[in-house]
A and B are shown apart, each in its own frame.
Chain A
């Protein structure tokens, strides 16, 4: 499974006015990787699918704030 969040280290100038955020993140959700959805993918139970917004784990992209560490599933 591809990761849903990537990170990079932006250039930090010695003259930056604020304390630098050394690592920045961006989202790369599941649909970027799937291509044309293949038949017969694994499915969630209906009750869980209703809650998650999709039938397929392959298309589920969790999101939590990157500013709150360790809360991600």
Chain B
């Protein structure tokens, strides 16, 4: 079970109403390498991975939900006071027709989230390599969004999220090293 803390992991501030940026950010909300995919991937894989790394998948999967909430806050703030006309100009006309200003799990191109974005292979090495790849792809996505954004407050939050991807990748790599260890061998640090 989870306990919920009613605050964001890192503050989210937005300088201007900018639905165009929201359209790009949706990639990290409901895209293939977004935070939803990450959270569900790790929390699902943890059941069939050796005990020594279950806790890592549990903790990182949980943190991904905290990131999801930050992205949701950004998208909400960027769009909540936009007119239908502004949304249309930002390329969100189709979104508006279907969802009004509600958030939806879709990627930047409007394709709905699908479980085929994530894998649980049952082979611990294969699963952890997928997790490392997912973190690197999410890091790249954050970079490309930062490159397109001129909102210094949003970019501050996105820079934090990008750094977390780097840390998660490192931890998954360490998990692989733990699984590679020969049994009955002394570990030297």
Q: Which residues of A contact B (CB under 8 A)?
A: 2-3, 6-11, 24, 26-29, 32-33
Contact = CB atoms under 8 A, between A and B. Distances in A.
Given A26-B124, A28-B125, A8 B182 contact: no
B116 interface: no
A53 B125 CA distance: 21
B51 A10 contact: yes
B51 A6 contact: no
Give the 9 A-B CB pairs with smallest separation, nearest first.
A8-B50, A26-B124, A32-B180, A28-B180, A8-B51, A10-B51, A6-B183, A3-B182, A2-B182
Contacts of A29: 125
A33 B143 CA distance: 32
Contacts of B82: none
Contacts of A7: 183
Given A26-B123, A27-B123, A28-B125, A8 B180 contact: no
Interface residues of B, number: 12
A6 B179 contact: yes
B52 interface: yes
A29 to B, nearest CB: 8
A45 to B, nearest CB: 29
27 contacts: A2-B180, A2-B182, A3-B182, A6-B179, A6-B183, A7-B183, A8-B50, A8-B51, A8-B52, A9-B51, A10-B51, A11-B51, A24-B50, A26-B50, A26-B123, A26-B124, A26-B125, A26-B179, A27-B123, A27-B125, A28-B125, A28-B179, A28-B180, A32-B125, A32-B176, A32-B180, A33-B180
A27 B126 CA distance: 10
Interface in B131-175: none
A28 B183 CA distance: 12
A7 B182 CA distance: 10
Contacts of A28: 125, 179-180
B38 to A, nearest CB: 22
A9 B51 CA distance: 8
A10 to B, nearest CB: 6
